[in-house]
Amino acid sequence: MEIKAVVGDITEIQADALVVNLFEEVKQPGGATAAVDKALDGAVSQLIDQGEIKGKLGEVTLIHTLGKLPARIVATAGLGKKEEFNLDKVRRVTGDFSRLLRKSNCHSVATILHGAGTGSIEPQDSAEAITEGSLLGLYNFTRYKKPEYEEIAEMLVISDSSQLTAVSRGIGNGKIMAEATVIARDMVNEPANQMTPARMAEIAEETANKYDLEFKVLDSRDMEAMGMGALLGVASGSSQPPKLITLGYKGNPDSRNTAGFLGKGVTFDSGGISIKPSEGMGEMKDDMAGGAAVMAALAAIAHLKCKINITAIIPAVENLPSGNALKPGDILKAMNGKTIEIISTDAEGRLILADALSYAVKQSLSPLVDLATLTGACRVALGTGYSGLFSNNQRLANEIVKAANKTGEKMWQMPLPEEYKEQNKSLIADIKNTGNRYGGAITAALFLAEFIDDVPWAHIDIAGTASSNKESGYTVKGATGVGVRTLTELALSLAKQGGLV
């Protein structure tokens, strides 16, 4: 879909549909909505009086113009309560009305800048949010299936001439963010027989070539030579060879500081010998969502030309049962020399990240941020609306929360209590790979903390947010691409601090 800024009178715009808005409890429309209402002989006001248009968030009312305007449909989008309105609600509203208009066979849509003016949102920010909301809300994974509806071909964002440059800039930034998120969604939505560790490495190489990134992939021999016994242990049950993928972006070559973004890349997780129930196992193709998000974020960061150096590290494996598979009771040695007793082979993500984090420390990367669909316990604790955030550095945690708030990717900081480390103690090894059933997201994060030395580090558990089983706002069923926009915003923020926290 092409999105562009245009200057013009909304009542004269040529499009299949016009989008205006209304805050909750507003009885008399103003601005562009009032202009459209007048052209429709008071149809909007009449529907407000009749209680059919309430302005509630998520409400979209379609009015057929019957030739009174060049557009055949006017969509009135509810913005909710004015005092609660923010940029993420612009994204949500745009996703909702975009899907409805696609179902109404609209190929060209014109929209006002939602929240600009009365909503106290800058025109550039509104345009960026509209762009993200429309592209993400209209997302379809159609590689193996024909789409149900024809796509909207064009969206026009109506602007004043004085705002045209800013609005165009916002659209450009929104496209970069949304398109990177779509990369991650596409990767996660692929079936596991297609999205193998080797395919992840191929996509990383394609990304490197497109954005002039450094690319490197370590194979089993390299991992053996470096002592990555934890990662190799997880991979031992699969015929798919593991890959440790790295992408390097140097946006500030004068700086010696390089941050590390790490993403879990389990392309399918059966649980291994500690096998999962068959019901819902197909969803475990999304266990590489962290790796996909990190890879896609680096593409966005490079596209935006952030003045920062970042290395992305993605350990990619399959976790399957076989005669060669890792077993409960086995002991592995990680790259940093620590021995790990295996309690459950289904706690595999922390094992591959143990070696990836050790590798990042050896590369002198700082700060470190890892993104992983790590624990069902985090999903139990926070549901499907929030990712769990754990960190040994409050400044870094604050930066991540700030970035998440800006993008609408909700996160909640969780504790890292020293006393919970007791659960990870082993009688026969330095550490075991699971604690007891209580506080499982915390003990998993504490496990990862064993492999970071004293480097500023944050762990984001996206087990509950990586996929969605319902359609709402700019979230659609399937992969969400969570983390891409937060990591990109984090990079933009860290760039202002020279890459340090």
Quote the distance between the C-alpha of residue 344 and its chain's center. 28
Same domain, 171 and 247: no
- How does DSSP assign 422-471, residue by residue? GGG--SSSSEES---STTHHHHHHHHHHTTSTT--EEEEE-TTTSEESS-
Q: What is the CATH number of the domain that holds 397?
A: 3.40.630.10
Q: Does residue 337 form part of some domain?
A: yes
Q: What is the CATH number of the domain that holds 50?
A: 3.40.220.10
Q: What is the pLDDT of residue 280?
A: 93
* Percentage with pLDDT > 70 across the chain: 100
Q: What is the pLDDT of residues 350-405, one digit of tens each?
A: 999 999 999 999 999 999 999 999 999 999 999 999 999 999 999 999 999 999 99
Q: What is the pLDDT of residue 248?
A: 98
The last residue of a domain, from among 116, 150, 179: 179
Same domain, 317 and 408: yes
d(CA 82, CA 364): 47
Give yes or no for residue 163 having a pLDDT over 90. Answer: yes
Q: Does residue 474 form part of some domain?
A: yes
Same domain, 130 and 195: no
Q: Does residue 184 form part of some domain?
A: no
Q: What is the pLDDT of residue 160?
A: 93
pTM confidence score: 0.97
* Percentage with pLDDT > 90 across the chain: 98
| Annotated catalytic residue 350 | yes
Q: What is the pLDDT of residue 120?
A: 80
Q: Does residue 403 form part of some domain?
A: yes
Same domain, 211 and 143: no
Same domain, 196 and 133: no
Q: What share of the chain is helix, strand, coil (3-state, %, to 5)?
A: 40, 20, 40
Closest by CA to 473, choosing from 114, 188, 144, 148, is: 114
Which residues, including other chains, have CB under 8 Å from residue 249's CB and lie 6 or more apart? 211, 213, 214, 298, 301, 302, 306, 308, 309, 310, 311, 312
Identified catalytic residue from 175, 264, 350, 406: 350
Same domain, 123 and 48: yes
The last residue of a domain, from among 109, 144, 179: 179
pLDDT band at 18 (very low <50, low <70, confident <90, very high): very high
Q: What is the pLDDT of residue 161?
A: 95
Q: Does residue 47 form part of some domain?
A: yes
pLDDT band at 222 (very low <50, low <70, confident <90, very high): very high
Same domain, 229 and 255: yes
**DSSP category for residue 160:** -
Structural domain boundaries enclosing 172: 2-179
Burial of 350 (0-12, 13-18, 19+ CB in 10 A): buried
Same domain, 268 and 308: yes
Identified catalytic residue from 82, 276, 307, 477: 276
Rounded mean pLDDT, 54-76: 97
Q: Does residue 501 form part of some domain?
A: no
d(CA 86, CA 125): 10
Number of Cβ within 10 Å of residue 416's Cβ equals 17
pLDDT band at 276 (very low <50, low <70, confident <90, very high): very high
β 457-461/387-391 pair status: antiparallel
Rounded mean pLDDT, 294-306: 98
Give yes or no for residue 501 having a pLDDT over 90. Answer: no
Same domain, 175 and 205: no
Give yes or no for residue 499 having a pLDDT over 90. Answer: no
Q: What is the pLDDT of residues 408-457, one digit of tens each?
A: 999 999 999 999 999 999 999 999 999 988 999 999 999 999 999 999 99
The last residue of a domain, from among 146, 179, 212: 179
Burial of 419 (0-12, 13-18, 19+ CB in 10 A): exposed
Q: What is the pLDDT of residues 446-497, one digit of tens each?
A: 999 999 999 999 999 999 999 999 999 999 999 999 999 999 999 999 999 8
Same domain, 482 and 350: yes
215 close to 246: Cβ distance less than 8 angstroms: yes
Same domain, 320 and 247: yes
Q: What is the pLDDT of residue 35?
A: 97
Q: What is the pLDDT of residue 500?
A: 78
Same domain, 343 and 489: yes
Give yes or no for residue 119 having a pLDDT over 90. Answer: no
Rounded mean pLDDT, 105-121: 91
> Looking at the 3D structure of the chain, how many domains does it have?
2
Q: Does residue 185 form part of some domain?
A: no
Give yes or no for residue 115 having a pLDDT over 80. Answer: yes
Q: Does residue 213 form part of some domain?
A: yes
| Annotated catalytic residue 92 | no
Rounded mean pLDDT, 208-230: 98
Q: What is the pLDDT of residues 164-186, one digit of tens each?
A: 999 999 999 999 999 999 999 99
